[in-house]
Amino acid sequence: MADSTASPTPIDRPVYVIGGGPGGLSVAHALRAQGLRAVVLEKSDGVGASWRGHYDRLHLHTTRRLSGLPGLPMPRRFGRWVSRDDVVRYLEKYAEYHDLEIVTGVEVSRVEPAPDGSGWLLRATGGRELTGAAVVVATGHNHTPRIPDWPGRADYTGELLHAGEYRNPAPYAGRDVLVVGVGNTGAEIAVDLVEGGASRVRLAVRTTPHIVRRSTAGWPAQRTSILVRHLPVGLVDRLAKPVAKLSVPDLSAHGLPRPDTGLYSRVKEGAIPVLDVGLVDAVRKGRVEVVAAVDGFEEDQVILADGSRVSPDAVIAATGYARGLDDLIGHLGVLDAHGRPVTQGARTPADAPGLYFTGYTNPISGNLREMAIDAQKIAKAIARDGSRPVSRLPI
């Protein structure tokens, strides 16, 4: 007679992938290619939700050829620099082409170790409790819009919005607009506003960025980034300096001096160079005015770090995003002081085996390219892990 106190053998379980963006979809396909069942849980009603919400003029800063996900290249008709809408079309086709198992309208609120000690328990909308052999978190680098808690912000009477709410320049034609932040998003929105007829566009800058031409003589910056990514930081800094002087004019007279720290050193600190899509010319021609950083607000005025005050018709804060992972996995001790996962790709936290992350870095070699590479590594790592009863697809 069998021992009635013995624990039952757990049934095979799927791998749950949280997030239906490019990272999640590529992992799901890579897992299927390993013969494993992967279920994508997406809180919105379709894949690529974050891409659908980006501003209209957005194009990839990485080339089409180097931005495709595993198992399906991007169509040539998309052109070299793929538009936002074509990225969405590609993600929809990708899910259909690979017949991925995707459940929409399901938001996972918490991930916990499974009670039986094997795998993970996911708590989701509608009181769902799902148990997976492994979990891949792919909710995206740009998850929760972040606006600094500037003094006086709550009482500001002017129009203030995050860049995530910006779609196109039409509402700002003939208006005075202040864009705060000179990352790639802020730089491109400033150019979009100028081209869309804003009467005045100012760009508030706290730290001068490195500016790189997206392409020089037909050679994309992404290819250079791939070549130098694994070189010593100091060497790349030294190589980048003369290249910047040759390719990008000195904008010191216009308020954008050359940075005093190395390009790759800044990348390692999390600051990606600005890929120029018109900012350099707009600043040189005075169409985008560079001003000091924002220090606070007072009634209808914006107080700048140099003590000056401006009264724009609208303020667009291109001030970044938070990962938004604290409620989901913060209790597991797998996030660093900045709320980012302590591991990435095929590595899994020592105290949380079977929990994987993709898409939470911002590499100069291109997000989509690196997520495609990570997907293959994650799938192989899960397939090799024989300690978890993973559901396998029928042969």
CA distance 219 to 113: 48
Q: What per-residue confidence (pLDDT) applies to 5? A: 40
- pLDDT of residue 364 exceeding 90: no
- pLDDT of residue 11 exceeding 70: no
Instruction: Write down all domains in the chain, each with its CATH number in brackets.
Output: 15-143+323-384 (3.50.50.60), 146-320 (3.50.50.60)
Under the banding of pLDDT at 50, 70 and 90, the label for residue 9 is very low
Tokens linked to 162: 């995050």
Cα 44 to Cα 29, 132, 158, distances in angstroms: 20, 21, 32
Q: pLDDT tens across 316-358, in order? A: 999 998 888 999 999 999 999 989 999 999 999 999 999 999 9
The C-alpha torsion from 204 through 166 and 263 to 63, rounded to 10°, is -150
Q: What per-residue confidence (pLDDT) applies to 323? A: 86
Q: What per-residue confidence (pLDDT) applies to 6? A: 39
Q: What per-residue confidence (pLDDT) applies to 122? A: 98
Q: pLDDT tens across 182-195, in order? A: 999 999 999 999 99
Task: Evaluate whether 372 touches 117 at the Cβ level (below 8 Å).
Answer: no
Range scoring the smallest mean pLDDT among 10-14, 55-59, 303-307: 10-14
Task: Evaluate whether 30 touches 70 at the Cβ level (below 8 Å).
Answer: yes
Three state DSSP letters for the chain: CCCCCCCCCCCCECEEEECCCHHHHHHHHHHHHCCECEEEEECCCCCCHHHHCCCCCCECCCCHHHCCECCECCCHHHCCCCEHHHHHHHHHHHHHHCCCEEEECCCEEEEEECCCCCCEEEEEHHHEEEEECEEEECCCCCCEECCCCCCCHHHCCCEEEEHHHCCCCHHHCCCEEEEECCCHHHHHHHHHHHHCCCCEEEEEECCCCCEEECEECCEEHHHHHHHHCCCCHHHHHHHHHHHHHHHCCCEHHHCECCCCCCHHHHHHCCCCCEEECCHHHHHHCCCEEEEECEEEEECCEEEECCCCEECCCEEEECCCEECCCHHHHHHHCCECCCCCECCCECCCCCCCCCEEECCCCCCCCCHHHHHHHHHHHHHHHHHHCCCCCECECCC
- The more confidently predicted of residues 239 and 2 is 239
CA distance 375 to 43: 21
What is the average pLDDT across 210-225?
92
Share of the chain above pLDDT 90, in %: 85
Q: What per-residue confidence (pLDDT) applies to 21? A: 96
| pTM of the predicted protein model | 0.91
CA distance 5 to 18: 35
Task: Evaluate whether 139 touches 321 at the Cβ level (below 8 Å).
Answer: no
Q: Dihedral sign, CA of 124, 381, 388, 39? A: positive
Task: Evaluate whether 15 touches 132 at the Cβ level (below 8 Å).
Answer: yes
Task: Evaluate whether 81 touches 63 at the Cβ level (below 8 Å).
Answer: yes
Using alpha carbons only, what angle is made at residue 110 by residues 104 and 112, rounded to the nearest 5 degrees?
120
Looking at every residue in the chain, the average pLDDT score rounds to 93
Task: Evaluate whether 131 touches 120 at the Cβ level (below 8 Å).
Answer: yes
Range scoring the smallest mean pLDDT among 81-85, 168-172, 269-273: 269-273
Tokens linked to 174: 């003939």
Residue entry with tokens 């169509």:
75
Of the candidates 93, 91, 89, the residue with the CA atom closest to the CA atom of residue 20:
91
Task: Evaluate whether 72 touches 94 at the Cβ level (below 8 Å).
Answer: yes
* Residues found in the chain: 395
Q: What per-residue confidence (pLDDT) applies to 7? A: 40
Residue entry with tokens 């170790």:
113
Q: pLDDT tens across 13-54, in order? A: 999 999 999 999 999 999 999 999 999 999 999 999 999 999
